[in-house]
Amino acid sequence: MQRLSGLDASFLYLETRSQLMHVIGLIEIDPSTMPGGYSFTKLRTELERRIEALPTFRRKLDNTVLNIDHPVWIEDDDFDIERHVHRIAVPAPGGEREVAELCGHLAGQTMDRGKPLWELWVIEGMSDGKVAAMLRMHHAGVDGVTSADLLGQLCTITPDAPDLDAEKLKETAGPSSRTTMAVGGAINYFVQRPLSMAKLIPNTVAVPVGWLRRTRSKTAMPAPFQAPRTRFNAPITPHRTIALTQLSLDDIKRVKDRFGVKVNDVVLAMVGGAMRRYLDEHGELPDAPLVGMVPVSVHGADERDLVVEGTNKVTGMFTLLPTDLDDPVERLEMAAEQSRKSKEHHADIDANILRAWAQFAPATTMSTAMKFYGDRKLSLRHPPIFNVLVSNVAGPDFPMYFLGSRVTAIYPLGPIFHGLGINVTVFSADGKLNVGILACTDHAPDVWEIAHAFDEELKQLLEQCD
- β strands within 43-145, DSSP E: 59-62, 72-75, 85-89, 118-124, 131-138
Active-site position among 139, 345, 418, 443: 139
Give the integer Cα–Cα distance in Å for 431 and 438. Answer: 23
The single-letter DSSP state of residue 369 is: H
Coil, strand or helix: which one is 119? strand
Give the integer Cα–Cα distance in Å for 342 and 211. Answer: 11
Print burial letters for 287-306: b (CB count within 10 Å at least 16), e (below 16).
eebbbbbbbbbbeeeebeeb
**Cα–Cα nearest to 419, from 232, 189, 176:** 232
Q: Does the annotation mark 345 as catalytic?
A: no
**Cα–Cα nearest to 141, from 9, 24, 315:** 9
Residues 6+ apart with CB under 8 A from 365: none
Alpha helices by DSSP H, listed for 349-415, are: 353-358, 363-375
| Contact in structure between 441 and 452 (CB atoms under 8 Å) | no
**Cα–Cα nearest to 266, from 466, 448, 413, 460:** 460
Catalytic residues: 139
